[in-house]
Amino acid sequence: MPPKRSTPKILHQAGELRKQTTPTEKKLWAYLRLMREDGVRFRRQHAIGSFVTDFCAPRNKLIIELDGSQHLEQEEYDKERTDYLEAQGYKVIRFWNNDVMTNIEGVILSIKFALEERS
């Protein structure tokens, strides 16, 4: 039996977060879903270990994190989280909420580039 990727508590938390999607997450999700046509499947609020990622393409080992102003005050936590996820074999890319809202084309190009690197 393969190891579980997270605990029931964190998996429940991920489910709750999916119910509270922000406008920025909704916008990016609409674009990420279109990538299914290219064979890339993202998941929203995907639990890995004790963390819940904003978006994850498990087969491609790519995680996308969206950062708002609260992330300015939690840099150490974000670094710890990124270090853990990278140790699990994932590449983590981060975008500011403002970038998603004002430059979605640039964000999508960056994601596609990261996916090409992972292939």
Residue-wise pLDDT for 76-114, tens only, equals 888 999 999 999 999 999 999 999 999 999 999 999 999
The answer to whether position 21 is within a domain reads: yes
Query: Are 51 and 81 contacting, i.e. CB atoms less than 8 angstroms apart?
Result: yes
The answer to whether position 33 is within a domain reads: yes
What tokens does 38 get? Answer: 């290219």
The total number of structural domains that make up the chain: 1
Q: Tell me which DSSP letter residue 21 carries.
A: -
The answer to whether position 46 is within a domain reads: yes
- The reported pTM is 0.90
User: Residue 24 is part of which domain span?
Assistant: 8-118
84-102 b/e (C-beta count within 10 Å ≥ 16 → b)? ebeeeebbbbebbbebbee
In sequence order, the 6+-apart residues with CB closer than 8 A to the CB of 25 are 44, 54, 66
The answer to whether position 1 is within a domain reads: no
Domain with 22 in it: what CATH number?
A: 3.40.960.10
